[in-house]
Structure 1
């Protein structure tokens, strides 16, 4: 965690400290305060001559601050900037910077004494190498006068967000700032690459799907930032002008897909919150559709839809993760902080695109700042989960070491007994031997107890999930050889969360015990297996049992539970279960787990049809 915090502090310093030094200096002059503008609604001024001819009649508007943000606006805009004479002791060449990498077309006119001295055309509609200076921002050298003021006119038209904050730099100061920006970008992309490779390694080690989804998320976010800031256009596809626009909307939609997949797998929503899982599945389908539409819709439409939908996805993920943290899912705490950081940074960027926030170095780099904070915090979240799992493994190792020490002690006693047998009388040898046999028997009893504990649920006394999975695969192979059907009954206590919230966890444990005893009285045939599958879920494996027999057993189980009369707080509380039944012959299975998945779908159908009932797969399963 300390290393992640250092990375975050270095990146924030690299971004914010140069931004704080962006005030007017002899080396850099922000032109926003001296800039006037008007929107050419009817395209009545297509060139400089028409503007100069009607300049006195045009309603020029003043700019507030260092720049202007007009939101998503495809109307051509003209800008007029008055630049005073430069000091004679300095060179007259300056670099004009327009720091918005996604503008479609920019025309720059340098005018002095009513005469146009320079005309440059830039924008993402042109291949990158055709720019006056190959830089991700739009940079062009302009020549100023030592004795006379110079006017710079800009005609800008874009399909996306119109943000203009021009500045004049001396070539030396711009080169120094460019090196600082390169360090900032290098840190950002370096952090993303490190997190990509690190989590890829972790995935190959632990095979946890959430790591794979996180890798996809990091890759898509890096692609999005590269497209948004012009780095990808400069270094990867400098001649693909049409793709440069499409890459932004494509990467936003693809980032939505990766975000939803990662959230679903990390928070395990299918198990812990099925409703949120279904909502995110619908949003995932919408994101896939937006990926396709990014190649079909016009950019000015697609970018608006993707920007708003991206905000909706981030807010939804934040709300779900807060709720999961609230209900006690401990790994969600860093997840909440990570997404909050990204949301604040990305929303600052998006709102500046719509013109609702001022454009500056902080809002322009908001997504990068939020992304680095998120990557660091998510690494904390993944590390927290790894540490938790490591602690559980350590406890298991401690128990194993204790058993090994006991075995070692018994072996030492055996050696001592053998040595004493050569020195003592035969009776003493027999007595010592009996003691050693008792010690070995005790060790065997302990081992048997540990074996029993490893396959028994400590609360209910039933078999646990680990034992059930082993028995299931054994019975599956036997049924496959003999070609007889296997039946699985998956059960869930109805409204158990409400029961816990109303009567408390101690009462909930008593309820689980009572239900377990009722089920165990029904499942008594040799070869059948009853286990607690997790939480309030129970599962039964019936060998060589067709659907008719499995339904009879499931109904008996349901009635046995519904006949229970539990007393809590002086009240009789009814308890019911829902059950899903699935039967398949192993020869027809694509994979061994399919039968359990079918039973799970039947259980979901029982829940949706009102609970306290038995549903079978596939007859009672819809959709």
Structure 2
């Protein structure tokens, strides 16, 4: 079998990097074991970055324990963003398969919770075991592997964790200090600075596999999208913050327009990222972030030439983040050979960007405070000069004010009386305009306004609103038989009956038109509206109406609709649906109450 042999002797402590052979294939382990030597490729120096691959990657190597004792070894894969990694250990005729670990595998599968992907295995004395590792990932497949004894790994991790912990702690201190300054000063720029540095901190923890220590959430969707979202979010925050800090005036309208267009386009791309696959979303995010930073850095560079205040600090912060983005593009495309380590570059870039930005925020705050103090002092000096001039004119002003005050009081009193009379007239006129001249109840115009108002209240308070449409049965026959004066008496009787049947001040009856009436019942469900409607119908049906043409009997038909107002409804829908119910009552024989069943219509 094609594999690179790793010798374990009494002096063995660690191998870094670990040299191995690999091939790209979606075949099973049994099929992989049958492949010939020519199908395998060597990793040479053991630092392999294949970029984004469509197929799984198989890795093979042999470990030979040339000591007479069993060995416990730790295999480290120091690229925690791989989706799934499964290790198979072939010992003589048996295969030991380890649980798959990776960025999209459950955290509980890991033998050791670490920022790297770690497999712990035992190697028998004088054994020659072949190892096969299957790597599946939508992101770039980078395989910096190493082999350690437990003691050496502990020393290695202790030093690295100390450096990383100090760096992350420093970034968190900047996040909290800017957040505290925001709470003390209420200046939005400190909040934006805190959010930007928090994005960089989160990006470091996610990229280096440290999220399990701070905020690990076992959500597959979030694991797929977090890096792409964080890269572009940080750029958008830096873009927005740069515009605030540069304090561009009317001379730079075109630059302001460029930065805002860049901000809006980047924001729209950010909102679309969750709908793309991991690889596509990451490419879009990195490219968009690169374009955003290049444009904003170009603006800052132009302003630096124009000697705009603070532009050099903003440009330095932008360029630091830009370097990290360019390096990330190389990494995720497998082009990072002969470059510095990812952790070193990210830490340095993010440290410079965060420090410069925090320094600039404080510097600008101090400058603005000093400028404000200078302006206040100038205003105080000017105020003293004005006070001396004002003292000379106070006596004259007081005399004039007393005379004017007496005149103003007289005119004000007269004006108040006139306005009061005008308001009373307006109220009387408005009241008349909302009353029906025949019945004395509200008219159609008032009904429309009242319905709109109650519709909004129903939606706001989520309470049912009921609307009833009432119509006198065979009214034309009454007019033809008893005359129009008797018809008017009948209309007045129905209006009075409905009005006296409504017990709450919020209930309202209106003459909708001709012999038709409309009733608004706020906070009333279908059952309550049916009770009111049935009481009105029964009272009119049993009554003997005295008219100019004598006593007549008549009935009414009622259609009603009740529901909680929804965003997709319109107020006139209540009238339309109640009118449909009235139409059903007419066709069902009149002299009855029918309600419109909205649930039945939806079913």
Establish whether residue 211 from structure 1 lines up as the match of residue 190 from structure 2.
yes
- The structure having more radius of gyration, on CA atoms, is 2
C-alpha separation between the residues in 1 aligned to 2:365 and 2:297?
22
Q: Structure 1 residue aligned with 2:34, among 53, 64, 89?
A: 53
TM superposition shift of 1:198:
1.5
Which residue number in structure 1 is paired with residue 266 of structure 2?
A: 287
Residue 307 of structure 1 deviates from its aligned partner by 1.5
User: Does structure 1 retain, via aligned residues, the 8 Å contact 2:13–2:152?
Assistant: yes
Q: 1:317 aligns with which of 287, 296, 299?
A: 296
- Structure 1 residues 87, 378: closer, same or farther in 2, change over 3 A? farther
Q: 1:275 to 1:130 in 2, by over 3 A?
A: same
- CA pair 86-217 structure 1, distance change in 2 beyond 3 A: farther
Query: Which aligned pairs between 1:528-547 and structure 2 lie closer than 5 A?
Result: none
Assess if the C-alpha contact under 8 Å between 2:286 and 2:325 holds in 1.
no
What is the alpha-carbon distance in structure 2 between the residues aligned to residue 289 and residue 353 of structure 1? 23
Q: 1:230 aligns with which of 197, 209, 229?
A: 209
* 1:30 to 2:16 alignment: yes
Deviations 1:396-429 (A, max 9, x none): 688799x79xxxxxxxxxxxxxxxxxxxxxxxxx
1:351-376 deviation digits (Å, cap 9, x = unpaired) = 12211112877224422321112111
Q: Deviations over 1:134-181 (max 9, x none)?
A: 223211102234424333221111001111111111112222333333
1:286 to 1:26, Cα distance in 2 relative to 1, 3 A? farther
Q: 1:82 aligns with which of 62, 73, 83?
A: 62
Is residue 81–residue 153 contact of structure 1 (8 Å, CA) maintained in 2?
yes
Distance 1:323-1:132 versus aligned 2 partners, 3 A rule: same
Contact kept, 8 Å, 2:17 with 2:45, in 1: the verdict is: no
- Secondary structure, aligned partner of 1:295: helix
> Is the Cα–Cα contact under 8 Å of residues 73 and 162 in structure 1 kept in the other structure?
yes
Question: Deviation of residue 295 (structure 1)?
Answer: 2.1
Q: Is the 1:36–1:60 contact (alpha carbons within 8 Å) kept by the matching residues of 2?
A: yes
For 1:334, the equivalent position in structure 2 comes to 313
Matching of residues 364-443 of structure 1 within 5 Å: 364-392=343-371
**Which residue of the other structure, out of 70, 73, 92, is the alignment partner of 2:50?**
70
Q: Confirm whether residue 108 of structure 1 aligns to residue 93 of structure 2.
A: no
Separation in structure 1 between the aligned mates of residue 368 and residue 276 of structure 2, nearest angstrom? 47
Task: After TM superposition, give the deviation of residue 271 of structure 1 in Å.
Answer: 4.4
CA displacement, residues 57-107 of structure 1 (integer Å, 9 cap, x when unaligned)? x52112132311111223211112233435557x61111111111111111
Question: Mind listing any 5+ residue stretches in structure 2 that lack a counterpart?
Answer: 1-10, 390-603
- Judged with a 3 Å threshold, the aligned counterparts in structure 2 of structure 1 residues 95 and 355 are, in CA distance, closer, same or farther, namely same
Offset at 1:31?
4.1
Measure, in 1, the Cα distance between the counterparts of 2:378 and 2:264.
47
In structure 2, what is the Cα distance between the partners aligned to 1:173 and 1:272? 62
TM-score (normalizing by structure 2) = 0.57
Query: How many residues are paired up?
Result: 382
Aligned to 2:278: 299
Matches within 5 A, 1:434-453: none
Partners of 1:183 and 1:338 lie apart in 2 by 26
Compared CA separation, residues 321 and 148, structure 1 to 2 (3 A): same
Q: 8 Å contact 1:246–1:295 — kept in the other structure?
A: yes
Q: Would the alpha carbon gap of residues 359 and 153 (structure 1) be closer, same or farther in structure 2, given more than 3 Å must change?
A: farther
- Does residue 188 (structure 1) correspond to residue 167 (structure 2)? The answer is yes
Matched, 1:201 2:180: yes
| Residue aligning to 2:220 | 241
Q: Does 1:167 align with 2:146?
A: yes
Taking the aligned partners of 1:272 and 1:200, their CA distance within structure 2 comes to 32
The answer to whether the 8 A contact 1:349-1:364 is kept is: no
2:44 counterpart SS class: coil
- Secondary structure of 2:130's aligned partner: strand
Distance in 1 of aligned mates of 2:284 and 2:240: 20
User: Is the CA contact 1:66–1:165 (under 8 Å) kept in the aligned structure 2?
Assistant: yes
How far residue 128 of structure 1 moved from its aligned partner, in angstroms, is: 1.0
Aligned CA distance change for structure 1 residues 184 and 316 (closer, same or farther; 3 Å): farther
CA distance in structure 1 between the partners assigned to 2:17 and 2:374 by the alignment: 65
Deviation at 1:272, TM superposition (A): 5.3
What corresponds to 1:530 in structure 2? none
What is aligned with 2:335? 356
Instruction: Give deviations 1:306-357, integer Å, cap 9, x for gaps.
Output: 1221222222222222221111113122222222223223422331221111
Deviation at 1:237, TM superposition (A): 3.2
CA distance in 1, matches of 2:151, 2:369: 54
Cα displacement (A) at 1:217: 1.3
Q: C-alpha separation between the residues in 2 aligned to 1:195 and 1:157?
A: 37
Change (3 A) 1:270 1:187: farther
Query: What is residue 96 of structure 1 aligned with on the other side?
Result: 75
Q: Residue in 1 aligned with 2:254?
A: 275
Q: Distance in 2 between matches of 1:223 and 1:84?
A: 41
What is the root-mean-square deviation in Å for CA atoms of aligned residues? 3.2
Shift of the 239–262 alpha-carbon distance from structure 1 to 2, 3 Å rule, reads: same
Q: Distance in 2 between matches of 1:376 and 1:200?
A: 15
Q: Secondary structure at the match of 2:80?
A: coil
- C-alpha distance after superposition, 1:16-39 (max 9, x if no partner): xxxxxxxxx94321244x211111
Asked whether 1:260 is paired with 2:245, we answer: no
Q: Deviations over 1:499-536 (max 9, x none)?
A: xxxxxxxxxxxxxxxxxxxxxxxxxxxxxxxxxxxxxx
**How far apart are residue 446 of structure 1 and its match?**
9.0
Aligned equivalents of 1:393 and 1:266: distance in 2? 17
SS at 2:98 equivalent: strand
Q: Secondary structure at the match of 1:165?
A: strand
Q: CA contact under 8 A between 2:193 and 2:357: conserved in structure 1? A: no
Counterparts of 1:231 and 1:332 in 2: how far apart (Å)?
34
